[in-house]
Amino acid sequence: MLKQLEPTVKTIGEHTFYLRPLPAMRAAKVSGQLIAALAPVFAGIAPLLGENSGETSQLDVGAIAEGLGMLDENKLDSLIRALLFSYGNVAVETEGKAVALTEDLVNELFCGEVQDLFLLCGYVVQENFQSFFRKWSSLSGAQNLLRRIQT
């Protein structure tokens, strides 16, 4: 079966979502949006990616918070649109059938539950870019950061 037709099923709250991988060229475009939107966060944590694997310094929560505070709302909005409904790769089950997400559906489903909106975005990123992040996280500095975050 074609990879683009094989959905991954995710349940968030009482809603069932069907995620299909983006075509490669669209995924490349979205990866640029992802990097542009999250670059300030990565800039905030970049100093933590050094080769200090033996060092037990505290995770610089302030740097991470500062990076999060620098997120550009327009880039974030554009990224959410690209991940969830611009390309028709996410559907939700309504009345027993899968319906492609639209802006109106997103607004209705996630009204008062914005954390679930970000969770769905995370699932879409995982569906489309997990091998990229797996390869990225194998770098020593990234592994060091992940260990610091987990402790």
Mind listing the pLDDT tens digit for each residue in 108-151?
A: 999 999 999 999 998 999 898 877 656 655 655 555 655 565 55
In the chain, the largest separation of any two C-alpha atoms, in whole Å, equals 55
The residue type at 65? A
Which pair of structure tokens corresponds to residue 77?
A: 């909005």
Strands (E), the chain: 8-12, 15-19, 90-94, 97-100
How do residues 6-36 score in pLDDT, each as one tens digit?
Answer: 899 999 999 999 999 998 899 989 988 888 8
State which residues form the domain around 105: 3-150
pTM for this predicted structure: 0.71
Q: Domain count of the chain?
A: 1
Q: List, in sequence order, every residue forming a beta bridge with 16; answer none if it has no partner.
A: 11
Around 104, how many Cα atoms within 13 Å sit in the side-chain half-sphere?
A: 2
Contacts for 40 with CB less than 8 Å, ≥ 6 apart? 67, 68, 70, 71, 72
Neighbours of 31 (CB within 10 A): 15
- Report how far residue 123's alpha carbon sits from residue 90's, in angstroms, rounded to the nearest whole number: 10
SS3 8: strand
Q: What does the DSSP 8-state code read for residue 100? A: E
